[in-house]
Every structure is written in structure tokens, then in C-alpha cells.
Structure 1
């Protein structure tokens, strides 16, 4: 991992994807609920929503317990993948997301997508946003890290691949804030993933806004 010199200027912005750039949080929740109910598991919707943003390797145990993870974890993840794939045509950018990313690139920052999701779904998000891999300093997926959020692994990989020295993270969940702190880096949080401002601030976010379009409108820079 690059040295995080607190005195150095921020040169890299690490962006979460789902719920931050793409309005997909509730599509993920729907796909997980379909996977669970197919196996006669009936968690409450709010519990599923609250877990979106942590890695799929952690989510099943978080919602249904270790016994279900041990017996059905891989099957549920495969089922979720199939259900979410069916929902990909419904993906939409969040307000101002495209202009936000372009503004950071034009300002000279290294911009990396620090997603621990499946590569095909990150690629689908990029297509919706109108960007390619070559437009960004790095694009990560679940294949790039041993441990998922709230562990910092995917952020470390994204920062290293981007060739950056010091980063700020933009995300939408308490899991993003936690992983940023472990990098370590400051985290700017958006409410577009469904977490409350107080929760994100209590987790340690240095700034909370409704969506990245608001950051763009304010002319925010790290």
C-alpha cells in the first residue's frame, strides 16, 4: 500500500459505485431477497438493505447467521448474482454522478472505482455512466481483494493500481466509512444509499450530502 502521508496533498479519489454513482442499492436488496426467499429464508427488508455495501462474503452471515452461511452461503451468492443480472437493465446514474466524475478528472485527480462487486456489474455501471476503464486510473472488482468492506483491502488495491499517494474516499454506507478509516483516509459520504446523515457522521464521515451531484454543484475538491 502507498504511504499515507498526512501532510501530502490528496491526489486520488476512491469512489464506491453502488449507491454512490449508480442508483442500485435497492436493486441489490431485491436480488438478495429473491435469493433468500427461494430457499425459504425470510429476513426483513430493512436488514437486507442495511447490509448492502458490505461484501457478499459477509452479507449472508450478517443477515441470516453463521449456520446459513456455512450451509447455503455460496448457493445464495450464486442465486443473487443471477437475480441481479436480470435487474442490470434498470441501472441508472445518480443525479450529477457523470459530471462529478468528469469534474474530478478535469481537475487532475487520479479517479479510481473501489468496488468489491463483480467485475461484470462494475463494467455495467461504467457503461451506464458513459466511461471506460481507460478513462479512470483504476477499476477494481471482488477478484482484486482477499477481504471485502468494511476491511480496507479493496481501497488499498485501488489506490495502488491508481499509483496514488494519498486518497479521499466517497461512499454511501457506514461500511465505506469504516474501510476508509482503516486505509486510512477521510471519507465523504452521500445519503443516496439510504443511510441517515447522523449514522454516517457517527461512523466518522467528514462531510455528508444527499448525492454526489451536490458535491459537483458545490465545486467540492479534496
Structure 2
């Protein structure tokens, strides 16, 4: 485990450490279809990375959220969970987290995913012995792009200067609202320009590329710490 005086690397999980964004998009599409709501998959993908509490209204409107939000979320979970065995960790995911922990940095997984899914990913990537803390959607009332999950993850890890590693514009927005820098990855399907425009201070193609530049990570004390 890390030194209590060390900085903290906050890792998003879906789309950052595990290749799940497109599975999520298809599961949401199928969930909407159950209730005769058709949302283009591309539009759903643009919202992946924010919490499910926000996604329905974002892609289908407030009326669908008010009428069917909880039902659609339940259907999404029912559709996604059979896909879990297909979800793989990205190449280099375990090695990247291990390299951060090996430098004496604290490691926290700042996920807004379903609690059971986060537990599954911890085992899939063999991260339980490496992570100082982790979160899920069950830990806050407001998920990404609200900063709450980052603040909870950072507090659980021990505070101090931190940086977020993420793959979506929602990660960038969440980090900015928490007063933290965000380093982006192209692994979730968002483009480099989009990530930089949303506030990413650097963007890497994949996890091995980021690992090679790990010592260049910028750390900052959170504005609301």
C-alpha cells in the first residue's frame, strides 16, 4: 500500500480500465426499446460516462425520465449484466495501476458504476490489493459529471494532491468541478479534441502509452478538499 503522504491517482473504470462503453450503449438502447422509446446508439454513447441517474433525461428528455426513468434503469441493468462475461480489461490496465501504486502513490477507483459491477471489475483486473479506495453509484446522490464521487474517492484514499484518469468528457467536467486536473484516454470512444475541449490537460491513446508517461502526471490539491 501507498505512503500516507503521497499524491493520489483517481482512475475512472468503465471505458478507462475496462472496455465496456459500447456494451453499456447497447444495453441502454435495448432498455429504451422495451418501453418503445428509440434513442440512436450514437447519442447514447455520447452520454456514457455520466451516471445512470442523469443519462435517461440527457438522451431521451425529461418526460421520459419522469415517466419511465426507474424502469429504464432497471431494464438497462437486466440487459447489461449478461454482457459482463464479455467485458475485458484494457491491455495494460493492471500494470498501469500497479505502476502507480509501485511509485508509492495512493490509488482510488472513482467509478459511478453499479456497486456489483465495480466489485466484478476489481476481481477481473485483480486490483483489490492495489487500490486504497473505490466508489460506486451507491456512494453519492449525484454522479458524474457532479464532482461528488471524486471527492468521496479522494477522501477515502487519504486526500492530498490528486489527478483523475478518465475517458469521457464527463470525467473531465467532473474533475474540473472538483478542482482537479484530468488526463484523458481515447479508450472510451471520445476524441482527443473533445477531451481537451472539455478540460483534459493531456490525452493518451491507450493505457501503455500513459504508463510510459506516468511520471509526467500533474497533481493538484482539490479545490474543495
The count of corresponding residues between Structure 1 and Structure 2 is 213
SS of the aligned residue for 1:54 comes to coil
Q: Superposed, which structure 2 residues align to 1:90-101 within 5 Å?
A: 90-101=86-97
Contact 1:96–1:214, Cα closer than 8 Å, also in 2: no
Unaligned runs of 5+ in 1: 1-8
SS where residue 135 of structure 1 aligns?
coil
Aligned match for 2:67, one of 66, 71, 74:
71
2:18 corresponds to which of 19, 22, 40: 22
Tell me what 2:222 maps to: none
The answer to whether the 8 Å contact 2:17/2:90 transfers is yes
Q: Deviations over 1:136-158 (max 9, x none)?
A: 11010111112011110000000
Write out the 4+ residue segments of structure 1 that deviate beyond 4 Å after TM superposition: none
Residue 166 of structure 1: how far off its partner (Å): 1.3
Match of 1:166 in 2: 161
Shift of 1:131: 1.9
Instruction: State the Cα deviation string for residues 152-187 of structure 1 (Å, max 9, x = none).
Output: 000000000001211100000000000001111000
Is 1:13–2:9 an aligned residue pair?
yes
Alpha-carbon distance in structure 2 between the residues aligned to 1:152 and 1:161: 14
Partner secondary structure for residue 83 of structure 1: helix
Taking structure 2 as the reference length, what is the TM-score of the superposition? 0.92
Asked if structure 1 preserves the Cα contact closer than 8 Å seen for 2:111 and 2:137, the reply is: yes
1:105 pairs with 101, 108, 111, which one?
Answer: 101
Structure 2 distance, partners of 1:219, 1:187, is 13
Task: Confirm whether residue 139 of structure 1 aligns to residue 134 of structure 2.
Answer: yes
Contact 1:91–1:128 (8 Å) recurs in 2: no
Q: Is the 8 A contact 1:110 1:164 kept in 2?
A: no
Match of 2:152 among 134, 146, 157: 157
Task: Say whether 1:194 aligns with 2:178.
Answer: no
Gaps of at least 5 residues in structure 2 are 218-225
Measure the CA separation in 2 of the matches of 1:198 and 1:157: 29
TM-score, normalised relative to structure 1: 0.93
* Residue 199 of structure 1: how far off its partner (Å): 0.6
After superposition, the CA RMSD in angstroms is 1.3
Deviation of the 1:218 alpha carbon: 3.3
